[in-house]
Structure 1
Amino acid sequence: MNKQFLDVIIIGGGLAGLCNAIHLSKLGKKVLLIEKNEYPKHKVCGEYISNEVLPYLDFLEVNPFDSGAVRINNFQLSTTKSNIISAKLPLGGFGISRYTLDLVLSEKAKENGVTILQDTVSNVTFLKDVFQVETKDNNIFTSKITIGAFGKRSLLDVKMGRNFIQKKSPYLGVKIHVKGNFKEDLVALHNFKGGYCGVSKVENNAINLCYITNYATFKQYKNIEDFQEQVVFKNNYLKEIFQSSEALFEKPLSISQISFETKKPVENHILMCGDSAGMIHPLCGNGMSMAIQSAQLASNLILNYFNGEIETRKELEKQYIRQWKRKFSLRLKAGHFIAMLFRKDTIASVLLQILKKLPFLLPIIIKQTHGKPMKI
């Protein structure tokens, strides 16, 4: 049994968890990050990130372009009937796989002195202003602060009785990397009946194809291949990309029970970051950026708490909730609304016709789910 007292324990080693770990350790905090998987690992993810995060990544001393990230400046959107519209991305972005980015961030965290433990957290208790974190391998750690960055859904969500976990989650995500022809500076979102697929280049000339669909629609078919053939390929752009490309994965990755229900940024005194705090619809293509930004938000407030600028835990939690909502609430609402519109074929077609006649509107809509370059 391992017992240690830390400044901060981070549960989950995705983008939010790793960025928190790097930020807090960079400023002298003793940090333990607990992640159930080993690095590197592929994850179901759109793998496009808005350039708004680049100033913060620079502060963390991480340059994604050193690891082969692809610069993206153009955007395409198609409806289920294969009507298409294009636009320049207001800020631009880049494509990089989670396999590579998570590995780079984890190596930077270790370089900063962060302890990364491959284990699963089984329980978290909060008593007398201290967290006790227990793991599957019978480790027990205590800390002043605990950050929840364990992703879309976890057994910890169930243990904490979080509201969103009580509701059935109807979405399924599928991802594959392929080799084929696709413009390097483009991110595309192609709709099909019951879902949509993101397409963009990542490092090593690979194309990331990642789609989300309603599970009720999917389960009517025998398998992923049958579903793609019968549903996804009704969009001519997706049919062409899938059928003219060579798969780089043995089989597609999938994740079920994806929830876009509202979550609380603080639960049982744990500061939630990334998908643990809230998920934007992938149709809006900026979830990775939100995860990274939530880490900066949490880390800055935690550091202010440690140095006495924030005097009480209650004030820390209050400020985090307020700032998280100020930064992300409108994005999440815009994401829900945009996704809802494009789920309705008739509305989506009318909307696309309007955007074709008034093309200046599309960058304005994109801005609703993106922020400005992060301030350091």
Structure 2
Amino acid sequence: MNTIPSTFDVIVVGGGLAGLSSAIHLSRQQLNVLVIEKNSYPKHKVCGEYISNEVLPYFNYLGIDVFALGAKKIDKFQLSTTKNKLISTSLPLGGFGISRFCLDHALEQKAIDSDVSLIQDTVDDVRFNNEQFTVVTKNQKQLKSKFVIGAYGKRSNLDVKLNRQFIKTKSPYLAVKTHVKGSFPNDMVALHNFEGGYCGVSKVEGDKINLCYITNFESFKAFKNIEEFQEKVIFKNTYLKQVFKTTIPLFEQPLTISQISFDHKKPIENHIIMCGDTATLIHPLCGNGMSMAIRSAQIASTLIVKFFNSEITSRDALEKQYLREWNTTFKSRLKVGRIVANLFNRPHLSEFLMKGLQWFPGILPQIIKRTHGKLMQIE
């Protein structure tokens, strides 16, 4: 077994999409990188599992062929309201469906092949002093690096340690995800609204259908279990009822996650460069959080490489550039995401909006464009 050194150029806290993508990128540029991930691979995660094609050039750069992994090409979109009004359109850029179980595992293998060091552990603390980080883990490791990337997901005890503002407010949202087997178009992602939430439906590799919904916990807790909630709330949307009732569950139990926060987060905290859900979380109604995680990893990694190549001369300059690029790339789409989510959380207003979209079908693709970015440029 190889001995893990104690000092690295970059330590990545969290080995999901953002963390592994950044680690592969940095290692390809001959930087010494460590990823600390608390879970073992492969693992299912609560996630919509649809990704915009904007990330394909970057995946090609990293050496990941999602279609060789079985990803489904998706270019159609369906949207329904709580009153079962349905509208369909094409996706301007298109995307693909692939499970986190499959994609994270492929990224892990690519990271290992790229000489990234990986350890399974939990980070208890990150300290910054004299231009150096000290990362302290649960297994009492003390590791040092020039940079730390935070890519540990939606919320963590580390957020409490860092005194991040969003963690102080209890979030009302709960998400549930499962895979099922049955009939659903390979080339479509659907978003069906129900009272208090919405559910995404799309195919992933192996002809599995991913069902992932988010709801307000106040709505959910009025029922004794997930099954009763689905029967009495979700199935009022006839499109969702059709999918759930005519398919076969592949999980023994659905996966759940609570305390999902859409509050503002700072992309840099205590000099840690935050990526993916650690930096921000777009409303699932806009269905593009996975590609945003990958895009943020590319931004952070490119700037860190420039720092080590002396193209960026100080940490301060790097952090300011990251904030500029992060805001340029994500601020507008996050704003659109919040507006769209707020509108569809009001049933009467959403019904009116659907009529408008049916009268002017060209509007919906324009909204989608504002949340799905452009093809990533690789430097």
TM-score by length of 2: 0.98
Q: Which residue of 2 aligns with 1:179?
A: 181
**Distance (whole Å) between structure 1 residues aligned to residue 244 and residue 236 of structure 2:** 12
| Residues 263-315 of structure 1: per-residue CA shift (max 9 Å, x gap) | 00000000000000000000000000000000000000001111111111111
**In structure 2, C-alpha distance between the alignment counterparts of 1:286 and 1:305, rounded to whole Å:** 29
3-state DSSP of counterpart to 1:316: helix
| Structure 2, gaps ≥5 residues long | none
AA partner of residue 90 (structure 1): P
CA contact (8 A) 1:40 1:102 kept: yes
Distance 2:192 2:366 in 1: 19
SS in 1 for 2:371: coil
Alignment-mate amino acid for residue 311 of structure 1? T
Residue in structure 1 matched with residue 324 of structure 2 by the alignment: 322
Aligned with 1:117 (options 116, 119, 136): 119
**Aligned mates of 2:301, 2:242 — CA distance in 1:** 44
Report deviation, 1:93: 0.3
Task: State the AA in 1 paired with 2:247.
Answer: S
Within the candidate set 371, 374, 379, 1:372 is matched to 374
Matching residue of 2:209: 207
Aligned counterpart, 1:293? 295
Q: Deviations over 1:99-118 (max 9, x none)?
A: 00000000000000001100
Q: Which position in structure 2 is the counterpart of 1:219? A: 221
2:154 and 2:338 map into 1 onto residues whose CA distance is 16
Equivalent residues of 2:87, 2:358 under 8 A apart? yes
Matched, 1:304 2:302: no
Q: Which residue of 1 aligns with 2:95?
A: 93
The reply to whether residue 14 of structure 1 matches residue 16 of structure 2 is: yes
- Separation of aligned partners in 1, 2:195 and 2:63: 42
Q: Name the % identity.
A: 60
Deviating beyond 6 angstroms after TM superposition, the runs of 4 or more aligned structure 1 residues are: none
CA drift at 1:322: 1.1
For the 8 Å contact 1:50–1:94, the answer to whether it is kept is yes
Deviations 1:148-182 (A, max 9, x none): 00000000001111011111111000000000110
Please, what is the CA RMSD of the aligned residues?
0.9
* Matched pairs, number: 376
For residues 25 and 33 of structure 1, what CA distance do their matches in structure 2 show? 11
| Aligned counterparts, 1:29-178, within 5 A | 29-178=31-180
- Secondary structure at the aligned position of 1:132 is classed as strand
Query: Structure 2 counterpart of 1:98, which letter?
Result: R
Assess if the C-alpha contact under 8 Å between 1:72 and 1:95 holds in 2. Answer: yes
Q: For 1:36 and 1:128, locate their aligned partners in 2 and report how far apart those are by CA, in whole Å.
A: 28
**1:368 Cα offset (Å):** 1.0
In 2, the alpha carbon distance for the partners of 1:205 and 1:91 equals 22
Letter in 1 for 2:368: I
Q: Write out per-residue CA displacement over residues 237-285 of structure 1, whole angstroms, 9 at most, x where no aligned residue.
A: 0001001110000000000000000100000000000000000000000
Equivalent in the alignment of 2:249: 247
Give TM-score scaled by structure 1 length.
0.99
Once residues 22 and 191 of structure 2 are traced to their aligned partners in structure 1, the CA distance between those partners, rounded to angstroms, is 30
> Offset of 1:140 from its aligned partner?
1.1
Letter in 1 for 2:72: V
* 2:283 aligned residue (271, 281, 284): 281
The answer to whether the Cα contact below 8 Å between 1:3 and 1:140 also exists between their aligned partners in 2 is no
Q: 1:148 touches 1:276 (CA, 8 Å); kept in 2?
A: yes
Cα distance, 1:8–1:248 mapped onto 2, change above 3 Å: same
- In 2, Cα distance between the equivalents of 1:208 and 1:373? 25
Q: Is the 8 A contact 1:2 1:141 kept in 2?
A: no
Write out per-residue CA displacement over residues 123-160 of structure 1, whole angstroms, 9 at most, x where no aligned residue. 11001100000111111110000000000000000111
Q: 3-state SS of the aligned residue for 1:24?
A: helix
Q: Which amino acid in structure 2 is aligned with residue 343 of structure 1?
A: N
Query: Following TM superposition, by how much is the alpha carbon of 1:82 offset from its aligned partner in structure 2, in angstroms?
Result: 0.7
- Conserved? CA contact 1:3–1:142, under 8 Å: no
Q: Which residue of 1 aligns with 2:355?
A: 353
